[in-house]
Amino acid sequence: MRPVLTVPALILLAGALAGCAGASAVQSGAGSGDSRYVAGNGVSELIKDRKPAPAVQGSTLDGKTLRLADFRGKVTVVNFWASWCAPCRAEAPTMQKVFDETKASGVQFVGVDIKDGKDNAQAFLRTFKITYPSFYDQAGQIALAFRSIPPNAVPSTLVIDRQGNVAARAIGSVSYTPLKDIVTRLAAEK
């Protein structure tokens, strides 16, 4: 006999599977642990006391080895995304557009596909014509490496300055103008 799900059970299941940052995201965990996920509003914030980005390395979705340190000297936008995340799909064209418009000024974008299936993630890249590399981080280890400035939601975006310090963060889906403004401002720093 197959179990029958009631309407309240289906609602709870849908909420558990949603997973993306949004207005009603729920915090889990207690205290100030790094595993808490919070609702994102997409507002970008510059960080006054910049801390070094961690020495992240791993495999990309196309099987190559990538190190974040390879981009030292460039402004590096690190976007945490997943194919199952609706806000990630909404912001993907913006990410690619800002990358296209700023790469000539020393800006690099890097995606971090988190807690996702590889086939679905590769389809996401093809669908949105994403040309910058993306780490494949099914286990979420890269996100955990950013302990001092955690990307507490999917999507989240961190911007690393030319010296390798985390200089800005946005929790939730970002829009074109705020992202371009921050990236341009950081690219102008010497």
Query: What average pLDDT does the structure give for the chain?
Result: 82
Examine the pLDDT at 94 and tell me if it is beyond 70: yes
> Helices in 19-154 by DSSP H: which ranges?
86-102, 118-127, 141-145
Query: DSSP character for 172?
Result: S
Q: Is 165 within 8 Å of 142 (Cβ atoms)? A: no
In this prediction, residue 149 carries a pLDDT of 86
Q: Tell me: the pLDDT tens digits for 10-50? A: 333 333 333 454 433 333 333 333 333 344 555 667 888 99
Superfamily of domain 25-188: Glutaredoxin (3.40.30.10)
* Mean pLDDT, rounded, for 49-69: 95
pTM: 0.79
- Average pLDDT value for residue range 164-186: 94
pLDDT bracket for residue 63 (50, 70, 90): very high
Give the count of beta carbons closer than 10 Å to the beta carbon of residue 49: 6
> What's residue 131's pLDDT?
98
